[in-house]
Structure 1
Amino acid sequence: MHKDGNDDGAPQAGQDDATAAEHGSDPAAAGSAPGAHGSGRLKGLAARGWTAGGGSGRGTVAGIASAVVIVATAGSMIAAASMGPRDTGGRPLEAPLTAVPAGSSVGICPGPARLLEGTPVGTDPQFSPESATAKTLVNAAVLSTNAGMLPGSRLAEINGNPLAEIAKDPGSSAPTAAAAPPALLAGVVSERAVDAVSVLSADAVGNQQATAGAVTSYTATDGDLQGAAAAGCQEPSNDLWLVGANTSLGRTAVLHLSNASSTPATVSLDLYGAKGQIQAPGSRGLLVAPGTTRSIVLAGIAPDQASLSIRARSAGGPVTAIVQQSVLRGLTPGGVDFIVPGAAPATRQVMSGVDIQDPASAKALTAKPGYADAAAALQIAVPGPADAVVEIKLYGRDGQKALPGGGVVTAKGGSVTELSLAGVPAGQYTVAASSDVSFTAAARVTRGLTSNSATDFAWSPSSARLGSQHVVTVPRAGDRYLVLGVPEGRAKITYTPITADGKVRAAATADIAGGTTALIKVPSEADDAAVLGYIVSASGDAAYGTVLLEEDGRADIAAVAVAPGAAGQEQVAVKLGY
């Protein structure tokens, strides 16, 4: 981490450390691009049509009489309509909206990073044992309801085998409200070792969806997969977008599709490279059975792609998608990362937590053979046929920074374009990109400046605007930073520590000016208890957040974008008919 005067977590100019009155009491509207991720909650809704049956011959007279009345009534209505003002065009009638019952909160957490064993046949991988020092840990938190009750919640393997019970089901008689606001509590999972994909689930209480969050962290100090990788546990969806995969020489990308539902999922992949969309045999109709994870070696369907973007669409059960990306330059480990879905295509994308190293040293490193991707860059994927003229702005801790080359790039339709961030001064940034054509994006950050030792990298995906009560969990080890970016206007961020003993501590606030990025170092303890994460809420203008993870004295780096908060009660359009 590039440290300066504010690295100790003290507020910088424009920040207010006063204690917030109540976390989540002043939420901002948490907007996101249409189609981004989806809610992924396991909900069901059936809307049935209704019909009218006819009578028998014995009711003929009554039927004729009824018909006369209907015809007379219809004639009166037509006559009345003819005397009123007439519309020049038709007026569509909207379908009625029906409230959807709150469903369980589900987050699927990736398993350990594993090295491929030899050359895979086709796209189905075989993995070798991980290194002796590899550790994969899950940290999770579930918040209590407005009545002070912890929802029934648990961590389990994707096949249903239990790993840890967080809280028992309070039952149908549990109160949904309290006369006085109770103290907020958290049910936690701290440093739970896992060796496979796991699932955090929390039940709805009183038609109120649970607020929860979890993160999986991987670290290794030996072997080909040295480095750090981390990913927030995802809510399943039927439409996911990933940017940053690489299948060129020395790079390995394995796509993991997980289905925690009880319904089979059939997944189809749309692949985009630097030269356009890739028509790949074997990318359609991928069956993912309930309670399983399917892994696909991307080099088997899209070989030699230095910039690969993936759209995963699921029919049937919703899924999660994650790419385990690793680099090996000869015998030197080049890092490992979990690439997770970002925001769906939109005309504006924002990525925070972009950590840039010393530009002179980075230039010297990338000039060496095989190190062209060992530097910060922005990748833009345009799924449609039209080219996108994208304007990129970079906001640092003291304001906007100029991009070498002017910050405007033309990204070809149906392909992936990479923009180097070389020459940008060292520091932490928020990247905002906008165009009149929809696109997706992600930013690559790197660490390590010498070719004779291991380096690492991480991808920061585009994320949704911060809203109210995001549960942001962090690993217990290493240097942890909450990076907050506000492209325009001004925003106030409330961040409330959650400690490993399940207590929610006193809140703090950061008042962040537009066009800047704020860096908050996560302390190891709060009130003599280990800090497991934060409850983050935002008000004011749009703000974005990412957790940046590093290890002092090592090249390890990982980035975890703040996931969307729990949605309120949703409504869907229901059409009635035969």
Structure 2
Amino acid sequence: MHNTSRSAEAPEGSGAAGDETKESPEPAKRPAAKGRNALFSGLASAAVIIAGAGAVVAAGSVLPQPVSSRTVPAGVSAVPAGSSVGVCPGPARLLEGTDAGTDPQFSPKSATAASSVTGAVLSAGGVLPASRLSDLRGTTTVEIAKEQAQPSAAGNSQEILAGVVAGRSVDQVSVLSADALASQKASAAAAMKFTATDGDLQGTAAANCLQPSNDQWLAGAGTTVGRTSVLVLTNASTTPATVSLELFGSGGQIQAPGSRGLLVAPGTSRPVVLAGLAPGEAQLSVHVRSAGGPVAAVIQQSVLRGLTPGGVDFIAPGAAPAVRQVMTGVDIQDPGQVAALTGRSGYEDAGPALQLTVPGPSDAVVEVKLYGRDGQKALPNGGVMTAKAGTVTEIPLTGVPAGHYTVVASSDVTFVAATRVTRGLQDTQPADVAWAASGVRLGSQHVVPVPQGGQRHLVFGALDNRATITYSAITADGKVRAPSTADIAGGTTASITIPEKVEDSDVVGYVVSASGDAAYGALLLQQEGRNDVSSLAFLPAAAGQETVPVTLSY
């Protein structure tokens, strides 16, 4: 039982911390004078302490500063180079149906469908980095190069060799990986190519094997009748990934239940049918963000117009939102025939078009320029239009002569862009479709894998001023051939036909470098006698050794 009496000299709440849990005896009565003397004595002691502290501070201000407290310039520390990893999508599959939600089932592939991976890894100092093609479980299917001794400083750094994978048949997701060498990330790249001449997935669909990321944008999907878009998320890391999707359509951002918190376990792929999240969207862009492990994202898209196949493609991520986006490798057919076809019901999306996605809160005033072989081509309204904030806007690219083009879009706010490429001018014949993703400015030593078969073109676009492109063929025997040079005038697009062989060895890739003004590149794949088409933007070149600032302090 607590004592309810308190001293008048000790107000409530002023006791020590333990006063509330332990009874204290009532304090003894003291004379008032003695209490005042104690108070004055305490104040005097406090004054002495304060004065002493001031003296110490004053003394410290005139003494030399200790070395450990002086300002030390920030140094830099090298970041260990990581492995080069490229995740290649699996073969295109025909969507059969869903049990519930957005998890798909797939029917068997067609009788003529074939899928293969082609890639190359470059040497450093005459030494090839340890590299391999494997499945998602980590089982090696092709050993490109074994681990070797690190290159010495006296090694011949000018000699470039290549380890290659030439048209390796695949039936599932595959991974090209190359270890770092001499503290440098390996220069390596691969591409997967799917072809079919029968069934609903007729056409050619090719995709670069992409470095996994925690943030990426994919533009060009559609979920209207006859359009099937399946987002495939692949986690090649050892860390679980939790993925959230942001969806944008022509009417604005789409709030879709089931688009957040998608778990992708390590070493697995998860397909998501986009029609289950955003049905009836003619233009659809997807922002993929992951927490934990990075993922590789690609959209398998196919078109069926009635009973006539309208094409198949892998939509790959493009450049992050920016005030300028550049897409090259855009093939445009005869404008009169395109206009006649797109005027028919169900064929509105059978012609070339630019799609712009503005994720921010402000509208974008966009200027579009179309560069062909002999310069810029005029577009309606001078190529200037407004793209609404939070929406996808489609701009037809019609009325220009047939040929290969570079599309440049610039604005006052950041946006995402992709360009649709179509082949086929008869509504009674199978057609094909491809999406040219926005690419990166060319620098030094880009590895460009070239899938085998069909017609293949290197397409380069130079913007305002002249650019010089150097390109060296990589052949199946592991040689990097003598370089060729292309001088490209500003505001034009150049197309170079790739030969099947160089000195009796198959061409499986190129090493491409650029100098001068900004230049961009893409690989355009077609098939003689068919309407097949696919466009692959060049991948970024391998970065050199990176450093981070380090500040020493305590």
Same fold (TM over 0.5): yes
User: Does the C-alpha gap of structure 1 residues 193 and 506 become closer, same or farther in structure 2, counting only changes over 3 Å?
Assistant: same
Work out whether 1:519 is the aligned partner of 2:498: no
Counterparts in 2 of 1:40-439, with a 5 A limit? 71=57, 74-76=60-62, 97-145=76-124, 147-170=125-148, 173-181=149-157, 183-439=159-415
Q: Quote the offset at 1:143 in angstroms.
A: 0.4
SS in 1 for 2:142: strand
Q: How large is the Cα RMSD of the aligned pairs?
A: 2.0
Q: Quote the offset at 1:368 in angstroms.
A: 1.2
Work out whether 1:561 is the aligned partner of 2:537: yes
Aligned-partner residue type, residue 138 of structure 2: G
- 1:10 aligns with none
* Distance across 2 between alignment mates of 1:273 and 1:531: 41
Aligned-partner residue type, residue 136 of structure 2: I
* Distance across 1 between alignment mates of 2:107 and 2:283: 26
Q: Which has the higher contact order (CA 8 A, sep 6+)?
A: 1
SS in 2 for 1:111: coil
Alignment deviations for residues 137-164 of structure 1 (CA, whole Å, 9 cap, x no partner): 000100011x200100000011212110
* Distance across 2 between alignment mates of 1:72 and 1:336: 79
* Distance across 1 between alignment mates of 2:63 and 2:510: 62
* Contact persistence 2:231–2:271 (CA under 8 A): yes
User: Does the C-alpha gap of structure 1 residues 149 and 420 become closer, same or farther in structure 2, counting only changes over 3 Å?
Assistant: same
Aligned-partner residue type, residue 165 of structure 1: E
Alignment deviations for residues 194-228 of structure 1 (CA, whole Å, 9 cap, x no partner): 11110000001121111001010000000000000
Aligned-partner residue type, residue 61 of structure 2: G
Alignment deviations for residues 280-319 of structure 1 (CA, whole Å, 9 cap, x no partner): 1111111111111111000011111110011101111111
- 2:432 aligns with 456
Aligned-partner residue type, residue 180 of structure 2: A
* Contact persistence 2:367–2:383 (CA under 8 A): yes
* Contact persistence 2:73–2:551 (CA under 8 A): no
Q: Quote the offset at 1:417 in angstroms.
A: 0.2
* Distance across 2 between alignment mates of 1:478 and 1:70: 85
Q: Quote the offset at 1:406 in angstroms.
A: 2.0
* Distance across 1 between alignment mates of 2:255 and 2:337: 39
* Distance across 1 between alignment mates of 2:307 and 2:147: 51
Alignment deviations for residues 463-490 of structure 1 (CA, whole Å, 9 cap, x no partner): 1100111110111100000000001111
SS in 2 for 1:405: helix
Q: Quote the offset at 1:99 in angstroms.
A: 2.3
* Distance across 1 between alignment mates of 2:472 and 2:198: 36
* Distance across 2 between alignment mates of 1:159 and 1:542: 40
Q: Quote the offset at 1:572 in angstroms.
A: 3.5
Alignment deviations for residues 266-292 of structure 1 (CA, whole Å, 9 cap, x no partner): 111111000000011111111111111
User: Does the C-alpha gap of structure 1 residues 343 and 190 become closer, same or farther in structure 2, counting only changes over 3 Å?
Assistant: same
* Contact persistence 1:547–1:560 (CA under 8 A): yes
* Contact persistence 2:526–2:534 (CA under 8 A): yes
- 1:56 aligns with none
% identity of equivalent residues: 65
Q: Quote the offset at 1:229 in angstroms.
A: 0.5
Residue segments in structure 2 that go unaligned for 5+ positions in a row: 1-52, 66-71
* Distance across 2 between alignment mates of 1:342 and 1:77: 60
Equivalent position to 1:500, from 456, 469, 476: 476
SS in 1 for 2:294: coil
Q: Quote the offset at 1:177 in angstroms.
A: 3.0
Aligned-partner residue type, residue 159 of structure 1: R
* Contact persistence 1:498–1:532 (CA under 8 A): yes
- 1:33 aligns with none
Q: Quote the offset at 1:96 in angstroms.
A: 5.9
User: Does the C-alpha gap of structure 1 residues 180 and 435 become closer, same or farther in structure 2, counting only changes over 3 Å?
Assistant: same
User: Does the C-alpha gap of structure 1 residues 120 and 482 become closer, same or farther in structure 2, counting only changes over 3 Å?
Assistant: farther
* Contact persistence 1:272–1:308 (CA under 8 A): yes
Q: Quote the offset at 1:559 in angstroms.
A: 0.3
* Contact persistence 2:126–2:155 (CA under 8 A): no
* Contact persistence 1:176–1:205 (CA under 8 A): no
Q: Quote the offset at 1:68 in angstroms.
A: 9.9
- Structure of greater Rg: 2
* Distance across 2 between alignment mates of 1:155 and 1:412: 44
Q: Quote the offset at 1:118 in angstroms.
A: 2.9
User: Does the C-alpha gap of structure 1 residues 72 and 515 become closer, same or farther in structure 2, counting only changes over 3 Å?
Assistant: same
* Contact persistence 1:404–1:424 (CA under 8 A): no
Aligned-partner residue type, residue 162 of structure 1: T
* Contact persistence 1:361–1:449 (CA under 8 A): yes
Q: Quote the offset at 1:502 in angstroms.
A: 0.7
* Contact persistence 2:121–2:188 (CA under 8 A): yes
SS in 2 for 1:364: helix
Q: Quote the offset at 1:98 in angstroms.
A: 3.3
User: Does the C-alpha gap of structure 1 residues 278 and 575 become closer, same or farther in structure 2, counting only changes over 3 Å?
Assistant: farther
* Distance across 1 between alignment mates of 2:308 and 2:56: 84
Alignment deviations for residues 211-267 of structure 1 (CA, whole Å, 9 cap, x no partner): 001010000000000000001110111100111000111100000111111111111
Alignment deviations for residues 88-111 of structure 1 (CA, whole Å, 9 cap, x no partner): xxxxx9976532111100000011
* Distance across 2 between alignment mates of 1:347 and 1:434: 6
Q: Quote the offset at 1:69 in angstroms.
A: 11
Q: Quote the offset at 1:124 in angstroms.
A: 0.4
- 399-408 or 487-496, larger mean C-alpha shift: 399-408
Q: How many residues in Structure 1 have an aligned counterpart in Structure 2?
A: 497
Task: Report the TM-score when normalising by structure 2.
Answer: 0.87
- 477-486 or 360-369, larger mean C-alpha shift: 360-369
Aligned-partner residue type, residue 319 of structure 2: A
Counterparts in 2 of 1:529-548, with a 5 A limit? 529-548=505-524
User: Does the C-alpha gap of structure 1 residues 336 and 97 become closer, same or farther in structure 2, counting only changes over 3 Å?
Assistant: same
SS in 1 for 2:386: strand
User: Does the C-alpha gap of structure 1 residues 408 and 70 become closer, same or farther in structure 2, counting only changes over 3 Å?
Assistant: farther
* Distance across 1 between alignment mates of 2:127 and 2:466: 35
Q: Quote the offset at 1:117 in angstroms.
A: 1.1
SS in 1 for 2:61: helix
* Distance across 2 between alignment mates of 1:330 and 1:564: 40
Q: Quote the offset at 1:533 in angstroms.
A: 1.0
SS in 2 for 1:118: strand
